[in-house]
Amino acid sequence: MNIIKVNRKDIQNSHTPILDYCRKLIAEGLEPSSKLEVYRNNEIPDITVNSINEGAKLAVSEDPTPRFVKYRPMSEKDRVRLRLKGPQKGYGSSVRSLKKKIGS
């Protein structure tokens, strides 16, 4: 089994950066059974994924509380809808509706 060691700041920011990085490593052809160790500034890994293949299969759902679920890539139809409508929930839409209420 290979061990991939990476510094956290080298992983792109996203909602689930470690799981997205596992998918990226698989797409680049790395051995699916490889172990991923993510470090910040110390000798002990902050996060360990025992198999990038298993990490690539996971996503996080926050409905109603955070939990791991099976990863499903977003369809092109959903991507287009998000680009046209923008986010429907979350901080951004709440701020917009609040600004409308107070007249900013």
Kindly report, residue by residue over 62-95, the tens digit of the pLDDT: 888 999 999 998 888 877 877 777 655 554 444 4
Residue 74 CA from chain centroid, whole number: 13
Mean pLDDT of 35-53: 91
Residues 56 and 100: their CA atoms lie apart, in Å, by: 40
Provide the CA 40 distance to its chain's centre, in angstroms: 17
Lowest mean pLDDT among 44-48, 52-56, 91-95: 91-95
Instruction: Give the global pTM.
Output: 0.69
Q: Residue 19 pLDDT > 80, yes or no?
A: yes
Whether the pLDDT of residue 35 is over 50: the answer is yes
Scored b (16 or more CB within 10 A) or e, 36-65 reads: bebbeeeeebeeebebbbebbbbbeeeeee
What letter does residue 104 receive in the DSSP assignment? -
Delimit the domains of the chain by residue range: 1-73, 74-104
Share of the chain above pLDDT 70, in %: 82
